[in-house]
Structures are given as C-alpha cells and as structure tokens.
Structure 1
Amino acid sequence: MRQNPSFAMTDVAELRRLIDRNPWMTLVSHTSDGLVASHYAVLLDDGRDDLTVVGHVGKPDDLIHGLGERELMLVVQGPHGYISPGWYGDAPSVPTWNFVSAHLTGIPEVLTPEENLRVLDRLVARFEGAMPEPRMMWERPNDAPFIERLERGTVGFRLTPTKVVAKRKLSQNKTPDVVETVMAELSGSGPYANADLAAEMRRAHEAMAARRQEPGI
C-alpha cells in the first residue's frame, strides 16, 4: 500500500480501534508456489496494549502459510466507498475511493493448544455475545470431546507486527465545504450512500479540527 504523509495513520489507539471494529482480515504470505491469501477473524491480544493480535487458521492453512516460520501480512479493511467527482462541485475532478486500511506484517508465534482454546473461546464470545440467546463455545450441546476435536483442527497464532503501514484517506486534501458535501452524500439515500464511511469521515475531520485548535498548532 503506497503511503503518503497526509493520509498516514500512526496513532496506536486509532489503529487498535480499526482492528477491533474490523476483525475479518486477509492473511497474505509468500510461498514457493507464489502468494497465498486466507480470510479469518482476528482479535487484539487482550493481554497487550500495542498492536499484537491473535487468531487461528484451519489446518492445513498453517502449513500453506508457513505459520511461525515466515513473514505474514494481515490486511485490515475499515470503512470504504466510492466518491463521485460530482460531489466536488464545478471543478476538474475524477472519481476516487475513500478508505481506512492497515497492513500488519511480522512472523507470527504459534500458540499452544491451551492458548489456542482461549482464543477460540474469545472469538465465539465476541460475536455470539450479541445474539439474543448466545451459544457459547463450552455450552451444551457442545461437550469437551467436541471442543478438543475443534481445537485439533486449528492452529492459533499471535502476531506482534514489526512493520505497520496504515492509511486513512478521507478527503483530507479537500476544502471544508467539499468535505461536508461528501459526508452529506454518503449519509443520504443515493446509490453510493455509506453511513459507516460518513461517520468515519466525520470523526476524523472533527479530530483534525480539534488538533488545529490546540496551542502551538
């Protein structure tokens, strides 16, 4: 992902928020047969306050990716959407795409079966907890032998990234009135309405405005 300073995303708290809100990630690694990619849910490591994440892959994806042996990239995709040149007013312009994304790269650590079980339990709790009648991993009709078989079919990992490239392209290079127009269009009912992206833009631009009001800035 090509980086440029005006769109760079470096704040750890913001990156943790991006990861937490967008757990469905793409895992990419380079093998002797070329690039391979898989898709899994990944969570922040609840024992750390940095960008360390935990997750699992189903066998034999661990072998395909060389889990624990070579570099792995996690692609985190936040809100994104089409931006029409018509929203920029009467000025030369072309279509673009606003987005928030991060690439976390490093060599993952393979978890023990006990650690993997804990990650699997956290994953179920994270997403099942929103259901009206949650079915947690250790609850009936699941039993211990079933859970043990489940664990044996997966391999857990912990990744502390050694390289992070993150980008938040949210019309920072546009005038305030154009930004307001773009957010209004995204919040509307047109073919490219995107409430999540509009909210992310609003949040980012309000934070930038607040920073500009700080003494010495």
Structure 2
Amino acid sequence: MHPNSIFRLKGSDADQRATMEALVQEIGFGMVFAQTPDGPRVAQSALFSTGDGAVQFHLSNGNALTKYLHGTDALVVVNGPDAYISPDWYQGANQVPTWNYISLELEGSVRKMDDDGLVALLDDLSTVNEARLAPKQPWTRDKMDGALFDKMTRAITGFEMEIRAWRPTFKLSQNKPDADRLRAADELEKQGKKALAHLMREWVQ
C-alpha cells in the first residue's frame, strides 16, 4: 500500500468497502502470498468475493502453498490497471517519472473448504465469468462428464480467507493539479490505456 494518504479511497466506510469488493469481483484474479516452512511463497488464482468480507480461491494440490494455507494468515493482492507516467505530460518543471496504478491488499486467516464448498466456488466462478461473454450461451459443468469433473476437482483445494484488513491504493495523479492529471490521462488514452485514463478523469473528483 502506498504510504501517501491522498491515494486512499474516499467516502463512507460502507462505500469504500463496496468499492473494494467490486474491484475484487470485477478483476477476479490475484496473487496469494504466505509464509511456509520452505520460505515465503506466492500463487496466482482466480478470486471470488463472497460480498460479506471473505474471498475464495482454489489452488492445485501440487502448489507450494496448498498444504500450508489452512489455519494460517495470508495476503491476497489484486492489481487493477497501471501505466507509466512521463514527466513530459505535466506542465510544471522538475517533475519525475512515476507509475499510476490501482492495487488492493487483503489480509486475513485462511481455512480449507470442504468438497461441497469447492464445487460451489467453481460454479460461482464460471457463472460470473460466463455472464461476461453474453450473448454466448454460458458453459456449465453439466456439459462435461461428471466422473471427469470429480477427478479434476480432487486435484485442487478450495480456500476461503476471512478478510480482517483491506489496504487499497488508487494512485491516479491526485497529487497533481487537475490540468496536469487530465493531460496525463489524455496521453494514456493515446497509448491505449483507456481504463486507467477513464479512472483518472472520472474517479478523481
């Protein structure tokens, strides 16, 4: 998390929480970090926000984290759009290069899910992501052989992390004059960084 408080979320606690949960659900992918007897390890996973203060994910049974996560504390990092910001895009002199980005750190305790919970997680993940492909007819696990599905799920483990700390960074040039921020957003638009440019224009108000 960036130490400058200007890059924090604004609004009521409820609004901030809703924004962070929406970010997890919209991006739907992140990194899971934890300490193991073999040293710190990280894994990448699809993420599902339960909407009530927890995030769910699954890992391969062969992953270096899987056998150690249950009952431990972990850190999940969700990264949004990011881009390099050139000093030439600001009007004032003596500027330095920087990087704008959105990132969310989630810290909490992890528990292993049972088999029914894992299957429900897989169904939730496919439902959310298949809906984004409309008008394509959504894929469901009914389309595959049940025995094969069971075999594949035995090769993975589902987890749920109860989030006790949310640490967001929304670094969108809030520390610059509006004219400079909007000029940088225009330049990012030219570079094809439309999502970050939009947030710099519309979110920082």
Distance 1:63 1:202 in 2: 40
Q: State the secondary structure of the residue aligned to 2:140.
A: coil
- 1:89 Cα deviation after fit: 1.7
What are the equivalent positions in structure 2 for 1:40-189 lying under 5 Å apart?
Answer: 40-45=45-50, 49-61=51-63, 64=66, 66-129=68-131, 130=133, 132-139=136-143, 142-188=144-190
The structure-2 alpha-carbon separation of the partners of 1:63 and 1:204, relative to structure 1 and needing over 3 Å to count, comes to closer
Distance 1:138 1:73 in 2: 34
More strand by share: 2
| Partner in structure 2 of residue 3 of structure 1 | 3
Question: What do you get for the CA RMSD once the two structures are aligned?
Answer: 1.8
**Match 1:25 to one of 8, 24, 30:** 30
Identity among equivalent positions (%) equals: 27
- 1:20 Cα deviation after fit: 1.4
- 1:17 Cα deviation after fit: 1.9
Distance 2:168 2:141 in 1: 33
The number of aligned residues is: 198
Amino acid at match of 2:114: T
Deviations 1:41-98 (A, max 9, x none): 00111xxx33311111111337546121211110000111111100012411011000
**Maintained 8 Å contact 1:65/1:72:** no
Amino acid at match of 1:181: R
Q: State the secondary structure of the residue aligned to 2:69.
A: coil
The structure-2 alpha-carbon separation of the partners of 1:22 and 1:66, relative to structure 1 and needing over 3 Å to count, comes to same
Distance 1:69 1:62 in 2: 16
Deviations 1:156-204 (A, max 9, x none): 111121222111110001111111101111112xxx4410101122231
| Unpaired segments ≥5 residues, structure 1 | 207-217
Distance 1:199 1:166 in 2: 18
- 1:24 Cα deviation after fit: 1.3
The structure-2 alpha-carbon separation of the partners of 1:51 and 1:185, relative to structure 1 and needing over 3 Å to count, comes to farther
The structure-2 alpha-carbon separation of the partners of 1:185 and 1:2, relative to structure 1 and needing over 3 Å to count, comes to closer
**Maintained 8 Å contact 2:42/2:65:** no
Q: State the secondary structure of the residue aligned to 2:149.
A: helix
- 1:39 Cα deviation after fit: 0.4
Distance 2:42 2:110 in 1: 15
| Partner in structure 2 of residue 201 of structure 1 | 200
**Maintained 8 Å contact 1:68/1:109:** yes
TM-score by length of 2: 0.89
| Partner in structure 2 of residue 16 of structure 1 | 21
Distance 2:151 2:108 in 1: 29
Amino acid at match of 1:195: K
| Unpaired segments ≥5 residues, structure 2 | none
